[in-house]
Amino acid sequence: MPRILDGTAIAAAIKQEVAEEVRQLVAHGIRPGLAAVLVGNVAASEIYVRSKVQTCADLGLFSELITPSADTTTEAMLDLVHGLNDRDDIDGILIQLPLPAQVDTKALLDAVDPDKDVDGFHPVNAGRLQAGRPALAPCTPAGILEILRRSNLPIAGQHAVVVGRSDIVGKPVAMLLLHENATVTICHSKTRDLPAVTREADILVAAIGRPGFITAEMVKPGATVIDVGINRITTQAEFDRYFAGNAKREAAFAKRGSTIVGDVHPQAFEVAGAYTPVPGGVGPLTIAMLMANTVRAARMRRGLPQRSA
């Protein structure tokens, strides 16, 4: 039986450590603070951002939720970001994506002070990460590394294959794995004979954004499979493709009319030595690492040493 890597438990351990660190900082008069910017009324974004703000409260961080209307402009958003950059009580700035089409997302992300860029989306942080300098790394990739480390799964010398080359997941996770001395291959839609490449992976990271894309024949027996995908499926045909015969999922699907599948087909997990389930794998780490990044930013900005890893 493959080992299930419990992201919820790992995230809980990290959050507990962050809460303890916040207590120590508060005792020295420093309360790390996060500004969360949520534009308009995208339902999924609202759920994510409220959860981020709630977690701040749970762990003792200061947070401020800022909710510009959907018809805001690039100029108004730039003014907002500049104001947050200047505030001493704000250590981290999170601009929930996606933004409305009329807002220039790149201009806005570039305007965030790199030292407050707790999402790790600023090109300066991408550069710092690549150069092996202290950087705020994007939360999902940083969370993947925490899962591997805290599960005592070896990275050095392993062949890690990352499927997907996004700036938010694929590229940064490849860089983090490289810094841990993995041999890293990045695959994408133009990769020739993808199954032949993924079958070489000791660590396979699936970050494509397509439901069930990684099938059992693409996984080397015993590999560690990290599934970053969150895809909502709503039709019975889709459900049957991934979960036929799974009574627990069937009941949940019947009740809600939808369920979540990752980028890895559930049958492919059976070939793995260890894997992150969806839900309950990588997802919970994203918020935990956002909290950790905010505390890290608070220390960095004040020239305080980082807590040792």
What b/e readout covers 256-282, taking b as 16+ CB neighbours within 10 angstroms?
A: eeebbbbbbbbebbebbbbbbbbebbb
Residue 97 as a binder of ligand GUN (CB under 6 A): the answer is: yes
Catalytic residue among 52, 116, 171, 220: 52
Token pair for residue 154?
Answer: 């070896």
Residue 119 per-residue DSSP state: T
Catalytic residue among 91, 113, 117, 119: 119
Say whether 117 is catalytic: no
φ/ψ (deg, to 5) at 260: -110, 135
Token pair for residue 166?
Answer: 């996004």
Residue 214 per-residue DSSP state: B
Residue 53 beta carbon to ligand GUN: minimum distance, rounded to whole angstroms: 13
Binding residue for ligand GUN (CB under 6 A) from 21, 113, 119, 146? 119
Say whether 96 is catalytic: yes
Residue closer to ligand GUN by CB (options 19, 97) is: 97
Residue 94 as a binder of ligand GUN (CB under 6 A): the answer is: yes
> Cβ-closest residue to ligand GUN?
97
Catalytic residue among 15, 91, 96, 227: 96
Residue 42 as a binder of ligand GUN (CB under 6 A): the answer is: no
Residue 95 as a binder of ligand GUN (CB under 6 A): the answer is: yes
Residue 259 as a binder of ligand GUN (CB under 6 A): the answer is: no
Residue 117 as a binder of ligand GUN (CB under 6 A): the answer is: no
Subset of residues 125 to 144 that bind ligand GUN, contact rule: CB under 6 A? 139
Are residues 164 and 204 in contact, defined by beta-carbon separation less than 8 angstroms? no
Give the whole-angstrom CA distance, residue 101 versus residue 116.
Answer: 24
Are residues 169 and 228 in contact, defined by beta-carbon separation less than 8 angstroms? yes
Residue closer to ligand GUN by CB (options 119, 263) is: 119
Stretch that binds ligand GUN, among 81-89, 92-100, 218-226, 261-269 (CB under 6 A): 92-100
**From the centroid of its chain, how far is CA 293?**
12
- For residue 134, give Cα distances in angstroms to 128, 129, 216, 293: 7, 7, 38, 12
Say whether 54 is catalytic: no
| DSSP helix/strand/coil, 273 | coil
Catalytic residues: 52, 96, 119
Could you list the residues that contact ligand GUN (CB under 6 A)? 94-97, 119, 139, 286
